[in-house]
Structure 1
Amino acid sequence: MLLRKRAWDIMNEDFSTIDESASLSEAIRTLRDSMKEAPENQIVVVKKKNGSLRGVVSIWTMLKAVEDMVLKDEDLSLTEEADWDRAFKRAGTACCSASLDGHIEENLTVLKPTDPMLVVLEIFRKKKRTWALVQEGGNIIGVVHLNDVYREVTRDLVQQF
């Protein structure tokens, strides 16, 4: 059964997208909202103005932005004189109004819908990614998460033994 599965069999067709002109706070909100429906979701697909793919903003790139812009802010030092609430609010405002430009991943893992499960598994293993986009005819039609691959691979193993 596993050998007959393809990327399209396990991909999620419901995934979040934002325009490349969106702010970091819009990306954060979009990902948080999508995680309410699909907790394993870790990415937001970023599209150019013409609708084509620009890249992805992942949970890791967003956390790195928060760390760089908020948690490492010089006003949030470990001194007794620091006004933590004011400094955190200022740093958070700066972070959320930042553009996505420096945070978009463009080195993407892309699958074809017809890629067999063994190819999907090999790509995930080699690239050490927890997600991959499924593209057909230049359009993103779905996202495969590592959880999806794990469920499919282990389903047949558990049933056989």
Structure 2
Amino acid sequence: MLLRKRAWDMMREDFPSIREDDTLAEAIRALRTAMKESPENHTVVVLKKNGAFRGVVTIWNVLKAVQTTVLKDDALKNAEESDWDQTFARACAVCTQTALDAHLETEVAMLKPGDTLLTVLDKFLAKKRGYAVVEEGDRVIGIVYAGDLFREIARDMVQAF
């Protein structure tokens, strides 16, 4: 049964996406909304103006942005307790208005809808990521998370013993 599984059997057709000219703030909003519906949904797809794939922004990219632009802000380090919240808010505003290019992952596992489960597994392991993007032609049609892949594999493995 496992060998019959394809990427389209596991992919999620409902995934968050934004345009490449959006800011990090838009990526954060899209991630928050998606994670309310599904906590595993930790990736937002970034599309070019023509709708083609540009890259992804993950929660890890957001956390890295917070670390490098907010928490290492000199004004924040030197702020007195009384104005720390205001300084933090200002640093966050600067961070979220940055362009996506600095936070974008472009070297991601790309799948075709008909890729077999073994191909999907190989691509996950090769890229060492918890997601893969499913593309048909120039259009992103879905995303597969490691949890989706695990559920497919585990279902058949449990039935085998």
TM-score, normalised with respect to structure 1: 0.93
Give the partner amino acid of 1:160: A
Aligned to 1:132: 132
Aligned to 1:74: 74
Partner Cα distance (1:116, 1:10) in 2: 10
Aligned to 1:145: 145
Aligned to 1:115: 115
- Following TM superposition, the consecutive aligned residue runs of length 4 or more in structure 1 with deviations greater than 4 angstroms are none
1:30-45 to 2 correspondence within 5 Å? 30-45=30-45
Give the partner amino acid of 1:4: R
Partner Cα distance (1:160, 1:89) in 2: 54
CA offsets, 1:4-24, max 9 Å, x none? 101110000001111111111
Question: How far does residue 80 in structure 1 lie from its aligned partner after superposition?
Answer: 7.7
Aligned to 1:28: 28
Aligned to 1:52: 52
SS in 2 for 1:22: coil
Partner Cα distance (1:135, 1:128) in 2: 19
Tell me if structure 1 keeps the 8 A contact 2:55–2:108.
Answer: yes
Tell me if structure 1 keeps the 8 A contact 2:11–2:143.
Answer: yes
Aligned to 2:156: 156
1:5-16 to 2 correspondence within 5 Å? 5-16=5-16
The alignment-based identity, stated in percent, is 55
Runs of 5+ in structure 1 lacking a partner?
A: none
Partner Cα distance (1:108, 1:65) in 2: 19
Aligned to 1:18: 18
RMSD over aligned CA atoms reads: 1.4
Tell me if structure 1 keeps the 8 A contact 2:79–2:87.
Answer: no
SS in 2 for 1:115: coil
SS in 2 for 1:129: coil
Partner Cα distance (1:39, 1:90) in 2: 28
Partner Cα distance (1:96, 1:30) in 2: 13
